[in-house]
Structure 1
Amino acid sequence: MAVCGVLLAAALSLGGCSTKGGLKVVLTGGLSRNELFSVNKAAMTLPEAKLLLMTELARYRNLYGEEMLSRQFGGQTLEESVKESTLDLMGKLLVMDEMADKYQIRLNEEDTANILSASAEYMDTLTETEKAFTGASESDVQHLFEKALLADRVYAELTGEQTIEVSDDEARVVTVRHIFISTAGSGQTGNAGEEASADESQAIAAAGDAYNRAMSAYDQLRQGADFDSMAQQYSDDAQEEYQVARGDVEQKLEEALFSLDTGELSTVMQNSTGYHIFLCVNNFDREATDQNKQKLLEERRWEAFEQTYNAFARDQVCQFSQRKWDAITLDGEEITNTGLYDVYRSRFGG
């Protein structure tokens, strides 16, 4: 798995003057004018940091639109969250660059040639606005690709000989059709002894109606009614078919779904949202299971790698300029370029 995918999913919190995420973070003015962040000898320059941040913000802009960046989620804007995750990525790239030195992992001449070519390809995708924002030269792109490729090589080297297994049953994915009848608005009644209000009475009636609808659909299905027709008539879920892996749904539903044979109809099941009826289309989707197995293997490899990573990072001291980082903003910039990751993946995989 390429580092651009692995590291974006693995958080390393940075900030303050304390130990977080295994790194001793020192807010400092001791970096050179063009440096933002360093871990021992490995350094991230401002242009490199801006390339990463620009790419991440562009990725979210393309997915959700410009207006979403300023919306609050969990006490911070999406743009602030993206800046934080970009710091996470930079921190791991720098630590893994130092790990490459420790484990004597080097790039070869072919790697260097590919990086030179990839850097030129990427620079050709940048608009004048993007070049002005990042201040990046082709050399900056080369250094960033070198860090990413070294991190990938470190990850591959330290996980390559590990025996990590995921069974078919752990990774199994089932395909089901679903009828969902919502009990939204049915709420809880008042305390014992209190007369139910009109709203509470309506809620009780709504819950009873949902149950009656669920049982009506179930009885017709047991008598041979077409599932699609029943879904159209009764279901409050616009989506009818789902692929479900372990952990995707609450335990009670999971146990029921994974016990169904292909073609078998579930009973009416209830949870906090409403009533559910499932028809098992395939109780062992081979293709989806293989994909899920690969995902689980990569997650477990990363978890195993993190133990080595964290032990190494614990002894490292990084310097970081909060002032320089806070000064970087993309307000008003017309930037949608995600080519950094696109070119990296096409040249080096992931």
Structure 2
Amino acid sequence: MKGLKKRAAVLAAAAALAISGVTGCGTVNADKVIAKVDDTEITTGLLNFYVRYQQGVYETNYAQMLGGIDAMWSAEVGEGKTYEQSMKETSVELLKQMCVLEDHMDEYEITLTEAEKEKIKKSAEEFVKANKEEDLEAVSGDEETVERLLTLMTEQKKMHDAITAKADTEVSDDEARRKGMQYVLFSFTKTKDDGTTETMTAEEKKDLKKEAEAFAKSVKNEKDFEAFAEKNGYSAVDSSFGEGTTAPTEDMVKQLNELKVGGTTDVFESDNGYYVGRVTSELDRDATDQRKETIVQERKQEKFKEVYEGWEKEADITEDKKLLEKLDFEKQGVTLKTEEADAENADADSADTGSAEESTDTTEE
């Protein structure tokens, strides 16, 4: 079956998953238990179906930019671990998380509505109906497995929303404050006559620093930092700064924090050039509001982590890591199926058969 192209819809609806195809051959023992969370079993079949979707997303969208499918999955991502190993281990962890959350749904009064259950059931039925038996085997896509994964993912989303809803979302201006600033960069990169660029020599950098220092001295007496910069052939950049800010340079931000509105900094060096900056406002409204949103998201993440890790410690979780090796990304490829691919397949089928019959690869959503 080497080189045989298969196509299969992976999921639809409830978990916002997509349609994909599989290539190659091979099946796993779907009934083997790869992990347990208390009394809840996670089968190899459930993991296979989940991980094949993840695989499809990456092979379709990122393979080319990452050097091709084989290079992508064999690339190391740290600690001697390949991208494939990392992907599979992460998928197991997410499934275990779903099961832990499922065990605590009562504490947040979370249930699936009849409409949600019906939608999940219908999606599973349509998936099985739309695909060939051999394709379903390759991705462990039987109706029960598809329905189980969709259920877990729907429960996970509802639990995540319920837990993070208890995070504090009140953030004051002072807590999120971002002040306005403008700065000029005297870049170490110069453009040659032929349009190419190169880094300045040490001597040129010394001359550039004198230029930056002269600008810093002169602009201190000017009310309009930007206008003065433009008048002298420089470009002023609008930005903001506050707690935790380190750009353009950490030392420059430290001095900016000590200045009042209108105050101008000394010259600060970075890897890419010299900077001179000025405080333009005590409160950058847009930047402060954006920082508020970030703080709220950080609090929600921390709340979820706090609650989940407490439950995880209490749970009896086991895993058979050897079974992960049975899921081979190189022997069993997966790619997302697009509308363009469907059109090409239909054209090819029509040319081969001389008919306009609907392709058997067509998948209903």
Query: Which deviates the most, 124-133 or 158-167?
Result: 124-133
Q: CA, structure 1 residues 122+94, in 2 after alignment: closer, same or farther (shift >3 Å)?
A: same
Please list the CA deviations of residues 245-278 of structure 1 after superposition, one character each: whole Å capped at 9, or x if unmatched. Answer: 7435265444455677888765433356642234
| Residue aligned with 2:318, SS | strand
Q: CA, structure 1 residues 254+134, in 2 after alignment: closer, same or farther (shift >3 Å)?
A: farther
Question: 2:212 — aligned with what?
Answer: 214
User: In 2, Cα distance between the equivalents of 1:249 and 1:120?
Assistant: 53
Shift of 1:131: 5.1
1:247 to 239, 244, 248: 244
RMSD: 4.5
Q: CA, structure 1 residues 183+147, in 2 after alignment: closer, same or farther (shift >3 Å)?
A: same
Q: CA, structure 1 residues 300+267, in 2 after alignment: closer, same or farther (shift >3 Å)?
A: same
Q: Percent identity?
A: 20
User: In 1, Cα distance between the equivalents of 2:179 and 2:131?
Assistant: 44
Structure with the larger RCO, 1 or 2 (CA within 8 Å, 6+ apart)? 1
User: In 2, Cα distance between the equivalents of 1:63 and 1:84?
Assistant: 19
Matched, 1:168 2:166: no
Query: Which deviates the most, 119-128 or 322-331?
Result: 119-128
Amino acid across the alignment from 1:45: T
| Conserved 8 A contact 1:130-1:335 | no
Equivalenced residues, count? 286
Shift of 1:335: 1.7
Query: Which deviates the most, 294-303 or 275-284?
Result: 275-284
Alignment of 1:172-187 (within 5 A): 172-173=177-178, 178-181=183-186
Question: 2:118 — aligned with what?
Answer: 113
| Conserved 8 A contact 2:168-2:299 | no
Shift of 1:212: 2.8
Question: 1:326 — aligned with what?
Answer: 325
User: In 2, Cα distance between the equivalents of 1:80 and 1:331?
Assistant: 12
Alignment of 1:310-325 (within 5 A): 310-325=309-324
Q: CA, structure 1 residues 335+268, in 2 after alignment: closer, same or farther (shift >3 Å)?
A: same
Question: 2:297 — aligned with what?
Answer: 298
| Conserved 8 A contact 1:42-1:97 | no
| Residue aligned with 1:330, SS | coil
User: In 1, Cα distance between the equivalents of 2:42 and 2:321?
Assistant: 13
Q: CA, structure 1 residues 246+267, in 2 after alignment: closer, same or farther (shift >3 Å)?
A: same
Matched, 1:135 2:134: no
Shift of 1:39: 0.5
Question: 1:192 — aligned with what?
Answer: none
| Conserved 8 A contact 2:56-2:334 | no
Q: TM-score, normalised by structure 1?
A: 0.62
User: In 2, Cα distance between the equivalents of 1:241 and 1:57?
Assistant: 41
| Conserved 8 A contact 1:55-1:337 | no
Q: CA, structure 1 residues 66+207, in 2 after alignment: closer, same or farther (shift >3 Å)?
A: closer
Please list the CA deviations of residues 190-238 of structure 1 after superposition, one character each: whole Å capped at 9, or x if unmatched. Answer: xxxxxxxxxxxx9864653452343355467666131895249xxxxxx
2:82 to 72, 77, 80: 77
Q: CA, structure 1 residues 210+162, in 2 after alignment: closer, same or farther (shift >3 Å)?
A: same
User: In 2, Cα distance between the equivalents of 1:209 and 1:154?
Assistant: 60
Q: Structure 2, unaligned stretches of length 5 or more?
A: 1-14, 17-28, 190-199, 223-227, 339-365
Q: CA, structure 1 residues 269+328, in 2 after alignment: closer, same or farther (shift >3 Å)?
A: same
Q: Structure 1, unaligned stretches of length 5 or more?
A: 6-30, 185-201, 233-239, 339-350
Matched, 1:94 2:99: yes
| Conserved 8 A contact 1:39-1:98 | no
Please list the CA deviations of residues 107-155 of structure 1 after superposition, one character each: whole Å capped at 9, or x if unmatched. Answer: 2212213333555687899999985642223432322222122223333
| Residue aligned with 2:229, SS | coil
Question: 1:25 — aligned with what?
Answer: none
User: In 1, Cα distance between the equivalents of 2:265 and 2:126?
Assistant: 54
Q: CA, structure 1 residues 128+331, in 2 after alignment: closer, same or farther (shift >3 Å)?
A: farther
User: In 1, Cα distance between the equivalents of 2:243 and 2:234?
Assistant: 27
Amino acid across the alignment from 1:335: T
| Conserved 8 A contact 2:30-2:140 | no
1:40 to 38, 41, 61: 38
Amino acid across the alignment from 1:99: H
